[in-house]
Structure formats: structure tokens, C-alpha cells
Structure 1
Amino acid sequence: MHASLPMYDRPEMRDQTDRFWALIRDALRDLGMDAPNALTREFASPWDLWQSPDLLLSQTCGLPLRARLHDKVQLVATPDFALPGCAPGYYNSVLITRAEHSDAPMTALLKGRIAINEGLSQSGWGALCRYAGDLGLTPARPILSGGHALSARAVLEGRADLAAIDAQTWRLLLRYEPDLMALVERDRTTPTPALPLITAKGRDPEPLIHALNSALAALPNPDRQTLGLAGFARIPLADYMALPVPPNPDDLPQ
């Protein structure tokens, strides 16, 4: 059996994440289920882990779920980080730029140099495309940074002028990489269902949901505050599937 919680697993929070997993693991074992001692952090590809028949629990993004995984995995629940302006289990993206562009029209920034973590990211790309579409625009072809923190640094260092950062990730970046406070928040995108927890297709999600809730209730408050977890929401798969799949960045003109 394999389990991972990769999406907000910063090194500074690893002890808290491991303690949270231990509580989940023990709650599952109390239900008579097998659960690995530790989280899997070293794997060749997240896609292999997500689609493994031995997957007990992991976290993906809403865009991979609707684009490639929806018929290959079982949706379990969605963590709620109590983000401002977002319903339980929802999140949005923070549109950031440098102070020198604090008054620039968003239409100009969207047609300029954009950094995104990857093309199959709801918060980094899907939300940005939807935001641009609401303004009647298609974004310029972005720079692929490889991660939200790298996108923010591309903006900070002048290699890009705009990035969309998952709002929970942005909280953590400001906490652990305070030089990024020099960046300016220009806007936030429309909330969408946040990063879902998944298990192998055909696996009953109910024991997992019970274990998640039990573990969160038992998690010491300092650990809960560090992780930012407020609870878990049950968002239907249909709500994820209702969102459009954005264009492949490589298909956009330079």
C-alpha cells in the first residue's frame, strides 16, 4: 500500500505532516485496514503513484483529476484551508506581479510574460485561463517554471511579470520565503474545488474519510495551525468535471 500527501509537503512542515499521517494510519488500522507506516515521498512519477492499484491515499490537482484521472481513481474528500472568499473545500489563485506593475492593466500583463508551474495545474494555469477568458483574452504562451515557488521567483527576479499562485501555497510562501512579500497581489481568481484526496479505483472511500476526520480531531492544535487544515469537504466529482480543460500552453503562439 502507498500513501502520499505531496501538494503542500514543504520541508519546514514535514514533521507536522508525518504526525498527521501517523494519526490517519492508526485510525485506519483501528478499522482493520492495512496502512503503510510512512508516506511515500520518493517516486519516479506522481502519475504512476496516483494510478497504482495499491494507492491508499494521495492528493492530486483538480485539473489532472478531470483531464486524466477521473475514471482511474476514486475521489475521497477535499481538504479545507478556510481561505478568504472561498467556500469549504474551495480555493483560488493569487495573481502576483512586481510593484512596478502594480498599476498596469491586467489585460497587458495577461498578454505579456507569464510564469506557470505546469500546464496541468488548475491554480497555475486553468484558473489563469478562466480569468483571462472572462476579459475576452487568451493568455500569452507562459514560461513553465516547474513549481509555484519557482513561478513567484521568476516574477520577483524579472524573468516574468505575472503568475497565478494557489492561495494556500501563497500563504506558505509568505510564511517561509518572506522576500516574496516584495511582490504585489493584483487580484484573485474565481474559487473552484480545491486539491482532491484520491484512492485507488474501486476502493471504498468511507473508511478513509472517517480516518481523516478522526486524525484531524486528534491533531494537536499547533500542528493543525501549521498545516492550515480546517476540515474536509465532500465535493462531488461532477463539480470538478464541470470546469473546462485549458489549452495546452505549447499550442499557444509565442
Structure 2
Amino acid sequence: MYNLPEMAARNAAFWEALSKEVQGPKLATFPSNLVFSRPVVPDAIGPEILFTQTCGYPLRTIYSGQFAFLGVPTYDFPGCGPSTHRAFVIVGKESPYRAIEDLRGARFALNSIHSNSGMNLPRILLARHGIKAPFFGAVVVTRSHTESIRQVQAGHFDAASIDCVTYGFFKELCPEKVSGIRVLAETPESPAIPFVTSIATPSDQAEKLRSALFRLVNDPIYRPVLGGLHIKTITAVDPVDYERVIAYEREAAERGYAELK
């Protein structure tokens, strides 16, 4: 999920460490490298997917029944809590906006209609401020948080909602790309983005992956690897936690803001 070009070496180190911790003979389909060529929101989590990290909202909507949980990371970036994250609503640094209500009629950059941090979390934030649709002057899909950030920084759009972990990595690794923006508001927290495998992965293989993740975070030798990705720990997933993303959807609709527009 977090794969800026500047993170390539860090992600490779994580995969190498996880590979070492998969005990016994390597899984038959165990790849030697992570692949980043797939779209951020693919059409499905197919049977070929052994390991991935997927946003919580599509897990409960378009990917329902297609995956099995492996573990959920806790990140150390601002906006994160134990197994949670949130989104930051960003605007241009010199823009006149001072409160979320000031964005009425603004141009909003949306990474995906299936995004929890880009769509679902700002939707509940706006709904809880008593805002009803339509609110924005325009909502345009950019296809990625990276592109949304670029468009707001360039002044082509007025605002976007960005996962706080993504924002944290940008500030650390390529601060020039966020030097012209600021955080206007923070959304409610939400379950962090989990690691999952395809539902077609045999249960014994899924358990090997799950156990390897937990050994990884408990072995001090891997602390630099995890620290490079700002992962404090990885814990077991309570699937009930991810019902919160749908509860936010229902609440927003009940408050009169069913669609981000």
C-alpha cells in the first residue's frame, strides 16, 4: 500500500525479512520480490495474491469474501493509534481556508471512490459537521494519493483527503512535494490498513505468513527494518473492527451526506 519510489529499498528489506521468517520449505508460490505494478485498487483480490496490504473500505465492499486477514500494523506517524490511522484534509499552504466548512464550492481531488481515507473518512467528517450534499464545486478522481497531493500542491485543486501514513512518508522522504500544502482538518480514526492474502490461499500457508509476521515484530534484529517503514508492531486482526468503515458510511447517509460531492 505504501510504495513511494523512495521506499523501494525499505519495502525490499521488509520482504526479505518476512521471507526468512516463513519457516520450513518456502511456500510453493512464494515470490522472491514484491510487485508494485498492480493498480492500487485492482478489480479483485484474485487467487494469485499471496500477500498484500489493502484499504479497509474496499475490503468490506468490493472485496468482500475474497481475502483472509494476516495482521494489522501500528504506525508511529502523527494521526495513528494502536492499529488505527486517519486521514488529513489538505489544502494549499497559502489558501484562505481555515475550517472544513470553508471548502463549500471548492475543487476536491479524490484518489478513488473506493478509498477509505480519500472518500469514506472525509465523508463522515463532513457529515458530522452538519454538511449535506452537494457541498463541493467539483470532485475529480485522480487515481492515487500521490496525484491528489501533486494536484493540490500545484493549485489545480483546492483540497484532498490523504491517509496520514502516506502523508507522513511524503514529509519524510520527499518533503518538497508537500512543502506547498498544509493540514486543514483531521478525520475520525479508522482501523489501519491490514495485510491480507487471497481467500484461495490454503489455510496452512496463510497461517505460516501470519506467524512469520508476528515473529518479525518480536525479533529485535528486525527493528531497523520495521523502523524504516515506521511500523511499531503488527497484531492479530479483529474483523469486527473493520465494520467501523461501514458504520461510518451508514452514519453519513443518515446525516444527509451519502455521497462525497
Fold similarity call, TM over 0.5: yes
**How far apart are residue 235 of structure 1 and its match?**
3.1
> Unpaired segments of 5 or more residues in structure 2?
254-258
User: What is the SS of the residue equivalent to 2:94?
Assistant: helix
TM-score of the aligned structures, taking structure 2 as reference length: 0.82
Can you list the C-alpha shifts for 1:53-78, whole angstroms capped at 9, x where unaligned? 23211111111101111211112211
Distance in 2 (CA, whole Å) between partners of 1:98 and 1:149 is 15
Cα shift readout 1:196-254 (whole Å, capped 9, x = no counterpart): 2111215434322211122343654443332111111333222213323489xxx766x
CA 1:177–1:189 in structure 2 vs 1: closer, same or farther (change >3 Å)?
Answer: same
Which one of the candidate residues 231, 236, 239 is aligned to 1:237?
239
Deviation at 1:104, TM superposition (A): 3.4
Residue type matched to 1:158 in 2? G
Worse-superposed segment, 8-17 or 175-184: 175-184
**Which of residues 177, 196, 199 is equivalent to 2:197?**
199
1:79 to 70, 73, 82: 73
1:150 to 132, 147, 150: 147
Q: Structure 1 vs Structure 2: percent identity of aligned residues?
A: 24
For 1:56, the equivalent position in structure 2 comes to: 50
* CA distance 1:51–1:196, change in 2 (3 Å): same
Structure 2 SS opposite 1:64? helix
The AA in structure 2 aligned to 1:143 is: V
Q: 2:161 aligns with which of 155, 161, 164?
A: 164
Contact residue 102 and residue 184 of structure 1 kept, 8 A: no
Give the C-alpha shift of residue 113 in structure 1.
1.1
2:156 alignment partner, SS class = coil
Match runs of 1:24-63 below 5 Å: 24-30=18-24, 33-34=27-28, 35-43=30-38, 47=42, 51-63=45-57
What is the total number of aligned residue pairs between the two structures? Answer: 244
Q: Name 1:178's counterpart in structure 2.
A: 175
- Counterpart amino acid of residue 93 in structure 1: A
- Deviation of the 1:82 alpha carbon: 2.5
Please state how far the C-alpha of 1:107 moved relative to its aligned partner. Answer: 1.1
Secondary structure at 2:179 match in 1: helix
SS at match of 1:187: strand
Task: Compute the TM-score of the two structures, normalised by the length of structure 1.
Answer: 0.84
Please tell me the root mean square deviation across aligned C-alpha atoms, in Å: 2.6
Distance verdict in 2 for CA 1:31–1:187, change over 3 Å: farther
In structure 2, what is the Cα distance between the partners aligned to 1:15 and 1:112?
Answer: 38
Q: What is the alpha-carbon distance in structure 2 between the residues aligned to residue 173 and residue 193 of structure 1?
A: 21
Which consecutive residues of structure 1, in runs of 5 or more, have no partner in the other structure? Answer: 1-6
- Measured after TM superposition, the shift of residue 32 of structure 1 is 5.6
Cα distance in 2 for partners of 1:56, 1:175 equals 29
Determine helix, strand or coil for the equivalent of 1:131. Answer: helix
Cα distance in 2 between the residues matched to 1:85 and 1:252: 22
- Is 1:126 aligned with 2:120? yes
- Closer, same or farther: CA 76–70 of 1 in aligned 2, 3 Å: farther
